[in-house]
Amino acid sequence: MLRARSLLLLRLAAPAAGCGPAARLVPARLFAAAPPPPAATAAAVSAEPFINGSNSSYVEEMYVQWLRDPSSVHASWDAYFSRTAGGAGPGAAYMAPPSLAAPSANSLPVSALVAPMVGGAARVPGAAASENTIADHLSVVGVIRSYQIRGHLVARLDPLEIERKPVETASEIVVRGYMQNFDEQDMDTVFQLPSSTFIGGREKALPLREIVNRLEQAYCRSIGVEYMYINDLEQCNWIRQKIESPGIMQFTNDEKRLILARVARATGLESFLARKFSSEKRFGLEGGEVLIPAMKHIIDVSSAMGVESFVMGMPHRGRLNVLANVCRKPLEQIFAQFAALEVADEGSGDVKYHLGTYIERLNRVTNKNVRLAIVANPSHLEAVDPVVQGKVKAEQFYRGDSDGNKAMSILLHGDAAFSGQGVVYETFHLSDLPAYTTHGTIHIVVNNQIGFTTDPRLTRSSPYCTDVARVVNAPIFHVNGDDPEAVMHVCQIAAEWRNTFHKDVVIDIVSYRRNGHNEIDEPMFTHPFMYNKIKKMPNLTDKYSKKLIDEGTVNADEVKDVIDRYEKICEEALEASKKETQIYNKHWIDSPWSGFFEGKDPLKMSDTGVKEETLTHIGKRVSSAPPNAVDFVIHRGLQRVLNSRMEMVESRTVDWALAEAMAFGSLLKEGYHVRLSGQDVERGTFSHRHHVMHHQKVDMATYRPLCYLYPDQAQYTVCNSSLSEFGVLGFELGFSLTNPNALICWEAQFGDFCNTAQVIIDQFISSGQAKWVRQSGLTLLLPHGMEGMGPEHSSARLERFLQLCSEDPEYFPPFAADEFAIRQLSECNMIVANCSVPSNYYHILRRQVHMPFRKPLILMTPKSLLRHPRAQSSFDDMVEGTEFKRVLPDTAAAGQSPSGVRRVIFCSGKVYYDLEKAREDRGLQDQVAIVRVEQLSPFPFDEVKQQLDLYPADADIVWAQEEAKNNGAWAFVEPRFETTAAKAKVIRYVGRSCSASPATGSKTAHTKELNALLNEAFDL
Ligand SMILES: Cc1ncc(C[n+]2csc(CCOP(=O)(O)OP(=O)(O)O)c2C)c(N)n1
Ligand SMILES: [Mg+2]
């Protein structure tokens, strides 16, 4: 008690500026601490006889509340705090409250409670009675609060009951010392209920016994809820009401029958699969089958509230069941996946528990149409989370669903993965950012209390597997998976929560895994104790039907009928599936683009050049401050940038930033949405872009010139992201799946940072089309180049991207000249380029949208070239009739008269400018040709061959690169040059030697290395 009292004193008396009454006026951001009172006030409060260890924090909290708004606390407290602040000493500030104010709803003056107490008399007469009354009252409030905060710790969540606490321990864990003031007699004392609880329903006061009983019912049965950390009081109260209101968890008989039917289907499918395909891995849901009615209930409730499209992401566990019973994917198609049938269409396919789906159907409960998509995913647990979010965001964006009322995401998780994978955290942190929010995701954890062979006690340091969600103030509902009605209740709350507050919410279904990790795995090796219990667990249909039979809701025949009917459906579907001779990957596509491919010539690409007036118009707009906004104060440095941009436009020249703006602007003009996302992209890491101008005098006043080019243009989105690569790149990939008529770009701060998003690159970008017949035109902008900045900030790891390209290095495609480029593009898995001129950057961006199909584009982008005087292009290379150049031939004398050339240097990207200058310095323009390979993959075999043929047969052929020999494009281009030259010529490497580190940390070493490279390149 002493400790608590001095703590309070310390906290209240902490020195701070601006204290005193005026502090009440401090407008509080929600998380701002209230200012402390004068030290005298603190001392007086802490010395009050009624302050003790169990109520001090309550008083403190109320005090903080009072400081913000005196009317928010009970009038008696208002009077008390006012008097204390006015100098009243310990014991003198308290006044019996009746005269203060009329009681508000759900609150009674403390004095009104004195009479009913302990046989109608105050416990101790006189002033002491008042003190006791207050102390008791505070203890009751403490008890209520304890259940709200800690009730979940003892809730009966585990169907296996492995860690069930004895009642006494449970009560200690929850109420701690708050019950110490009371003895058995006090349990019948009636106490006023504070406004922070709804357990009373219409009652304003209850006997203590009933208070505790109702709190136990609400917080310590099959549902354990965590929400008291939520800063928003309205949200807290909303949940309290949904959990505490008496009788709130009641279901009609029809509702119970529906739950039973759904449970029966879920268990029925698993047992059917187990019998028919006993040796197949399917990662069954047994032990967690309640997931199926849970998801269906969420969809029903959300559909009733207007949601039309549900995009779901989920891991392996129970996927087939979700496909069959939530999405209603035809069972024949699911069963056919078990037979080793040939694939009849394109793609390498994927295992059955990774496949996506897209279904439009009538929701029979709401009689409304819904669209259900499960996004295909790799084995990599949780990697699909941000992809789902991006896909939903795009749906919301394109249909103008600005609050997420029409489209929503549901993410399913395993307990081990949810707590272990960092991308979960990254995804949560996107949930409230304007350009990334999907306005609330419902997360469901199928918490089978095990991850493969590992016990939760050894896989996480947090008490719950869901703790990560607390960072975004999401409420978390833990629920016993063997109590289907409790599960439906939390699903109802979760769906309503999302619809009301548009924020994330988590449902943690505590269940078990009846079999091993998969069906052929032996769990007894590692979990004998747990699995001996599991063996005795009845199946959920049996358990729930018994309950319903016992209470008279259904009879045994009805139950049997439900089970038999579904068995029959499965049998018939299995028979039908046996007639299938082939499977189609396209049946499993999650993002169909209806109307996009139809009627298009797959080898015809529209022009990427535009009218000069378009270039000029866009150029001028992005070189100007807001039109008509004379008051918009631009930073002087930015004004200089704009001025020099304008000069460039006037001289028909573009640099990198201008080329990009013209690519984006012209696409916007043509009606294509453009989205550029990534860290600091609005200004640009290198301060070159400035797509968002900031008023220097008005906070948050900005101007985005690309949004105001034409009255009927498409929308431009440019958004600084959270400091995440995995999450944000996944998000943008998801965004790109929804609508092919858009250019979606993600820019890395420096190219090397994209390696924290490697899963998205390996598992989705490079292989998504092959596995899931799903295209994406996502564009990655990766600043790359050796500039003496050290091992990091230098390399975007070009070599890794090239290694992921599926093109055969030993095969010269026999395509006709006029369709060589487009056929290569149509057959590749992704495009990798390292452009050296702005015009090519502009064309390749525009080409992304003008191709008749979609391919991911990986672009190495420059840093120093952003301001390099030679890295500029003329409008002439961008107007109608011009196009992307895969290879840039030599532009000097060597290219004009090739016969005298002794060496041809091929290169890619920024090193060209170093080579060009070195050649000039050495006066070798007529003897050494420099050819740039701008598009590395697909490799321009045809144009490289033209270049090789152009120069004398005995000319020395060299590949020069600035990256170390084991990095960069060398390993990729070498075999392709050999193939191009039909092995008649050898290409030699010039550049840095092999290195473990991407670049040196020493500026001097960097310069030396560069000079050595240049000397070797020109050592004729
Ligand atoms: C990123 C990643 N690491 C490791 C694995 C291998 N793996 C597959 S399932 C699994 C256990 C998952 O446990 P949990 O998330 O609890 O899901 P459960 O299988 O229990 O449903 C592991 C480690 C994986 N698929 N992905
Ligand atoms: Mg698990």
pTM for this model (two decimals):
0.88
User: Residue 73: which pLDDT band, with cuts at 50, 70 and 90?
Assistant: low
∠ at Cα 703 (700, 704), nearest 5°?
Answer: 125
User: Residue 47: which pLDDT band, with cuts at 50, 70 and 90?
Assistant: low
Distance CA(605)–CA(848), nearest Å, equals 10
Q: How far is the CA of 797 from the centre of ligand 2 (A)?
A: 35
Ligand 1 atom closest to 288 (CA): 21
| Strand 831-834 versus strand 935-937 pairing type | antiparallel
Residue closest via CA to ligand 1's atom 7 equals 452
Best mutation site among 443, 452, 460 for ligand 1 pocket (most ligand atoms within 8 Å of CB) = 452
Ligand 1 atom closest to 420 (CA): 15
Residue closest via CA to ligand 1's atom 26 equals 380
Q: For residue range 664-723, what is the model confidence (pLDDT) as tens digits?
A: 999 999 999 999 999 999 999 999 999 999 999 999 999 999 999 999 999 999 999 999
Distance CA(529)–CA(163), nearest Å, equals 12
Q: How far is the CA of 448 from the centre of ligand 1 (A)?
A: 12
Q: The tokens of 625 are what? A: 């401050």
Q: For residue range 76-120, what is the model confidence (pLDDT) as tens digits?
A: 667 777 777 766 665 565 554 433 333 333 433 333 333 333 333
Of 445, 464, 470, 457, which Cα lies nearest the Cα of 382?
Answer: 445
Q: How far is the CA of 453 from the centre of ligand 2 (A)?
A: 9
The pLDDT value recorded for residue 459 is 87
Of 939, 322, 732, 268, which Cα lies nearest the Cα of 542?
Answer: 268
Q: Classify residue 690 by burial, with Cβ atoms within 10 Å: 0-12, 13-18, 19+.
A: buried
Q: How far is the CA of 964 from the centre of ligand 1 (A)?
A: 37
The pLDDT value recorded for residue 281 is 85
**Is 453 within 8 Å of 418 (Cβ atoms)?**
no
Ligand 1 atom closest to 381 (CA): 26
Best mutation site among 285, 286, 381 for ligand 1 pocket (most ligand atoms within 8 Å of CB) = 381
- Between the CA of residue 384 and those of 271, 356, 375, 519, 856, what are the distances in Å? 28, 11, 7, 24, 17
State the first-to-last Cα distance of the chain, in angstroms, to the nearest integer.
89
Distance CA(518)–CA(147), nearest Å, equals 39
Q: What proportions of the chain, in percent to the nearest 5, are helix, strand and coil?
A: 45, 15, 40
Q: For residue range 236-278, what is the model confidence (pLDDT) as tens digits?
A: 999 999 999 999 999 999 999 999 999 999 999 999 999 999 8
Between 985 and 1012, name the one with better pLDDT: 1012
Between 231 and 65, name the one with better pLDDT: 231
The pLDDT value recorded for residue 895 is 96
Q: For residue range 864-888, what is the model confidence (pLDDT) as tens digits?
A: 999 999 999 999 999 999 999 999 9
Ligand 1 atom closest to 517 (CA): 19
Q: The tokens of 445 are what? A: 């954890």
The H-or-E segment that residue 442 falls in is strand 441-447
**Is 822 within 8 Å of 605 (Cβ atoms)?**
yes
Distance CA(515)–CA(531), nearest Å, equals 9
Distance CA(291)–CA(565), nearest Å, equals 21
Handedness of CA 426, 427, 433, 436 (dihedral sign): positive
The pocket around ligand 1, CB under 6 angstroms, is made up of 317, 379-381, 414-417, 446, 448, 450-452, 513, 517
Q: How far is the CA of 421 from the centre of ligand 2 (A)?
A: 13
Distance CA(763)–CA(772), nearest Å, equals 11
Q: For residue range 727-767, what is the model confidence (pLDDT) as tens digits?
A: 999 999 999 999 999 999 999 999 999 999 999 999 999 99
Q: For residue range 927-955, what is the model confidence (pLDDT) as tens digits?
A: 999 999 999 999 999 999 999 999 999 99
Neighbours of 462 (CB within 10 A): 11
**Which amino acid is located at 868 in the chain?**
H
